Amino acid sequence: MADTTSPNRPHQADVEATDTILRLEDIRKTYTNGVAEEVLFGIDLEVNTGDFAVLIGKSGSGKTTLLNIIGLLDTPTSGRLFLDGRETSTLDEDERARLRREYIGFIFQSHLLLPDFNVLENVLMPCRIRGKAYEEAAHDRAVEMLQMVDLGEKIQAPVTKLSGGQQQRVATVRAFANAPTVVLADEPTGSLDSKTSQAVMRLMRDINQETGTAFLMVTHDPELTDYADRVIELRDGRVASDTT
């Protein structure tokens, strides 16, 4: 609708590798349903093109909250969030929705596919949300990516007929379908066995290296941090360490 970029926007790999696409300045979050609970105590963070970062921390340390704020699904109580140089705190719900579909890909803990649609349709759904032209432009690449993850035979299959691992691979491909600038994943392998987790991780890593899409992933699994080239640790609502 109001998208300014063309459907054929080049992948971020073409852009200079040290571009900052996300910048958080003193982000705080206090939940105020009933008792006020302060969850994030001033987060400063930058995410650059090509990053493959992992966010770790104890349960309840605010990882999901932070990811939701970065993904423009939630708003911070205070602080500023720049997405591609644009300050987002003053935007309304629909403006944030339009930024989400343009810049951000999501991989959720459980796959969260749309059961009424087949594999290819699910993958193309973020593009369909943006408009017909985007869906058509993304079609061939979507099929190609599905073939890369061994789902080439299943593109017309109903997603409800797939195994858990296959579904999570579809969800992963979906997150990249619209060539987002940054992909956010909240425990994407949480519901998968170790072997499938490794496969999904490799897929993400491949896409990251091929396209330069930045990657920010929450995980508990220390094995998976091996894939990352940056580890951010959250403790009590603050960034405790950020190692490259």
Partner 1 sequence: MVDRLSWSVAWRGLVRSKRLTALTLVVLSVSVILVIFLTALIDGLERDLVEETTGAIAHVLIEPREREPIAWWEQAARGARDEGPLYLGERTTLTSKKGAINNWQRWSRLIDAFGPEIRGVSPAAEGQGFTIRGEKREAVRLYGVEPRRYDQLVPIQDNLVEGRFYELGPGEITIGYRLAETMGVGLGDRLKVNTAEGTGRSMRIVGLFDTGFGGVDNATVLMRLGDGQSLLGLGSSVNAIGIEVENVFQANRVAEQLQRQIPYTVTSWIADNERLLRALEGQGRSSDLIIFFTAVAAAFAIASILIVLVTNKLQEIGILKAMGATRHQIRAVFALQGALLSLAGGALGATVGVGVVRLLSTVQGPPTASGRAEPLFSFELGPELVVGTVVGAVLIGLVASLVPARRASHVNPIAVIQNG
Ligand X SMILES: Nc1ncnc2c1ncn2[C@@H]1O[C@H](COP(=O)(O)OP(=O)(O)O)[C@@H](O)[C@H]1O
* Interface with Mg ion (CB under 5 A): 64
Q: Report the residue from 12, 49, 65, 118 that binds ligand X according to the rule CB under 6 A.
A: 65
Strand partners, 81: 24
Q: Which is nearer to ligand X, 20 or 75 (CB)?
A: 75
- Under a CB-based contact definition with an 8 Å cutoff, are residues 145 and 206 in contact? no
- Measured from the CB atom, the residue of 145 and 228 that comes closer to partner 1 is 145
Chain centroid to CA 132: 22
**What residues from 13 to 42 belong to the interface with ligand X (CB under 6 A)?**
31, 33, 37, 39
Nearest distance from residue 75's CB to partner 1, in Å?
Answer: 11
The residue range among 5-13, 57-65, 191-199, 207-215 that interacts with ligand X, by the rule CB under 6 A, is: 57-65
Closest approach, Cβ 124 to Mg ion, in A, equals 28
**Interacting partner of 61 out of ligand X, partner 1, Mg ion, none (Cβ under 5 to 8 A depending on kind):** ligand X
Tell the smallest beta-carbon distance from residue 160 to Mg ion (Å).
26
Could you give the count of Cα atoms lying within 13 Å of 138 in the half-sphere of its Cβ?
Answer: 31
- 60's contact among ligand X, partner 1, Mg ion, none, with CB below 5 to 8 A by partner kind, is ligand X
Residue 226 interaction partner, one of partner 1, Mg ion, ligand X, none, beta carbon < 5-8 Å per kind: none
Structure tokens at 174: 């979906």
Beta bridge partners of 38: 30
Which are the contacts of 61, defined by CB distance < 8 A and separation ≥ 6?
A: 234, 235, 236, 237
3-class secondary structure per residue, 157-170: CEHHHCCHHHHHHH
Residue with Cβ nearer partner 1 (50 or 176)? 176
Task: Give CA–CA dist 240/238, Å, rounded.
Answer: 6
41 vs 117 by CB, closer to ligand X: 41
Write out the residues near partner 1 by the rule CB under 8 A.
1, 64, 68, 71, 73-74, 93-94, 97-102, 104, 106, 108-110, 112-117, 121, 125-126, 128-132, 135
Nearer to partner 1, 51 or 135 (CB): 135
Name the minimum Å distance from CB 190 to partner 1: 12
* Residue type for position 70: I
Task: Give the binding site for ligand X (CB under 6 A).
Answer: 31, 33, 37, 39, 57, 59-65
